[in-house]
Amino acid sequence: MSFSHGSRHSVMVQLNKPARDYTIRVAGRGLNQKVFTSGTLSYKGGDHSNIPNAAIDYSGANTTASVRYLDDMTVAPFPPVHPAQQVDQTIKLLLNRTGAAWQWSLNENNIFDTAYEDIHPLLYTPNGLQDTGLTITTKNNTWVDLIFLVTNTAGLQPPHPIHKHSNKAHIIVSISTRDKAPNLDCDLMCGL
């Protein structure tokens, strides 16, 4: 199976095969970075034999015709989690690529200036970037709708303009062609 860079997924495996060891491979297929890992799933009481039968190679390309790739747009959490009926806060974030491939702007073309790197970490100075247009403030245990408006006025679109950790999210893409939707990475669970 193939994952987007930064993604974290929990997978349930039906244990209906002979009791032995099985190699699990995961690869990222992004153009800008190759990521690969593997692990061993061992049945308790198995004989620890392992018959290598790789379905993908190190680049994530299929090695057999039976490979079925994960479609991030169809992933749903288990047990099911549904969006809240009431929203506590809605925030629109305008993202635009400006200049270099790694440089993005947020809300009216505010970019992260390298001078900001001299500011103490925001964990210790939460108001350190308060008037820059680069931060938002939310409250714990509230439902927040983040609306990402992504434009591209400066060249090639990198794989994901947003990378969010340790939050539950429902990703709803409202675009005519799903293939053109930006890849919004999120940990824990992503669902439609």
* 91 close to 146: Cβ distance less than 8 angstroms: yes
Positive or negative: CA dihedral 151, 155, 159, 163: negative
DSSP label at 62?
B
Q: Alpha carbon 91 to chain centroid distance?
A: 20
**Residue 54: partners with Cβ closer than 8 Å, 6 or more residues away:** 23, 25, 63
Q: CA 8 to CA 158: how far, in whole Å?
A: 20
Which of 5-9, 56-60, 100-104, 161-165 reaches the highest mean pLDDT?
56-60
pLDDT band at 20 (very low <50, low <70, confident <90, very high): very high
pLDDT of residue 102: 67
Alpha carbon of 164 to those of 8, 68, 115, 186: distances in Å?
Answer: 11, 27, 23, 5
Map out the domains of the chain as residue ranges: 1-70, 89-191
Which pLDDT tens digit goes with each residue over 70-82? Answer: 776 777 777 887 8
The per-residue pLDDT for range 97-129, each reduced to its tens digit, is 776 666 777 887 677 777 777 777 877 887 888
- Mean pLDDT score, 155-184: 57
Average pLDDT over residues 142-148: 87
**When comparing pLDDT for 19 and 3, which is higher?**
19
Which pLDDT score, from 0 to 100, does residue 10 have?
Answer: 76
CA 184 → CA 16, 59, 160, 170, 187, distances in Å? 34, 21, 6, 11, 10
**Contact (Cβ atoms closer than 8 angstroms) between residue 39 and residue 23:** yes
Burial degree of 185 (CB within 10 A; 0-12, 13-18, 19+): buried
| Mean pLDDT along residues 182-186 | 44
Q: Name which of 2-6, 59-63, 91-95, 98-102 the model is least confident about.
A: 2-6
pTM of the entire predicted model? 0.53
Instruction: Tell me the H-state helices in the chain.
Output: none
